[in-house]
Amino acid sequence: MKFSSAISFLLVGTAAAFAPAPVSQRSSSALFMAEEGEIKPLRIGTRGSPLALAQAYETRRRLIENFPELEADGAIEICVMKTQGDMILDKSLMELGGKGLFTKELDTALLGDEVDICVHSMKDVPTWLPEGTVLPCNLPREDTNDAFITANGEIKKIADLPDNSVIGTASLRRQAQILAQNPTLKCVNFRGNVQTRLRKLDDGVVDATLLAIAGLKRMEMQDCATAVLDWDEMLPAVAQGAIGIQCRSDDERSLKYIDALNHMDTHICVNCERAFLEALDGNCKTPIAGQARIVDGKILFRGLIAMPDGSVKYETEKTGAIEDAVKIGKEAGEELKAQAGDKFFEMMVEMSPQQVLGQLTK
């Protein structure tokens, strides 16, 4: 099978690469000494999927590069936890209640002092953060585009799929843009980690699927992609390809560490995109796409909202000074909100999951 070897290699590699270093009961570094004299490790909270673990260990690597004392045994602890979104895979995100499903348990652990920092895929993070927490750090961003993956590897564009082809995706954003190109295509709810989705594709459950190329690259699985779609064919999700690190707002120690990791260009673009999403009051019922990039010292932003069936689509492009990034994102969201009108958003709220999705779970 086409993807079986890549999946098996990833799973074996994951076990070795992500195995935690042994924890020592003593450390010579004063940075990790609690009042009682025991080691006080920097505890990193993360989900347990291979992609989430790859991002947590990428964070660990960068921390050690910037603070060599963190290489000591027991200096960093990876704390894996399951979120509700990880445990319930037979329903769409919309039916379950939104993206906070991938962050609530991590938020609770952070506020309960069970972890010191949380590593997130930024596109899973709601535009609001729990009181007492901040998200001041984004690591350098990966390629933000979507990968298009077909079972035979021959069809490289959505427009070239035969009529009535079945595409696996849990994303309304992707569904709307797919159906806008060809309304005969059928999108089926397709959840689970990257390995699960590729296995389903390999088994012939669907004809094609889409995944963020960033996640495939972070797991060294980019060769699974048939093609990488540009913005004109598939505008990515807000904050796609970005890793964010959250901590308690009064935790000076954690703030010192993660401030050193922040990649400012990524942080600026992500804040622009999230301002766009916040202005639209975006949720998992509304197909929304938004991307910013810095070109020649200016912010370039593109945004889109659509009906789930792709029949109606509103788009905007804006450019401006980097220091106005948040303002540009907010104004773009307000512009599309005005274009679409109240009725558009009322329809989104009133629609049942079945009406919005028109999907079967595979």
- Which residues does the annotation mark as catalytic? 124
What number of helices (H) and strands (E) belong to the chain? 12, 13
Going along the chain, which residue ranges are E strands? 42-46, 76-80, 117-121, 133-138, 146-150, 166-168, 186-188, 208-212, 227-229, 243-248, 288-295, 298-306, 313-321
8 A C-beta contact, residue 191 and residue 92: yes
Q: Rounded to 5 degrees, what are φ and ψ at 262? A: -65, 130
Distance CA 217, CA 77 (A): 24
Give buried/exposed letters for 165-189 (b at 16+ CB in 10 A, else e): bbbbbbbbbbbbbbbbebeebbbbb
- CA dist., res. 169 & res. 59, Å (int): 28
Q: What is the maximum span of the chain, computed from C-alpha positions, in angstroms? A: 68
Report DSSP state, residue 19: P
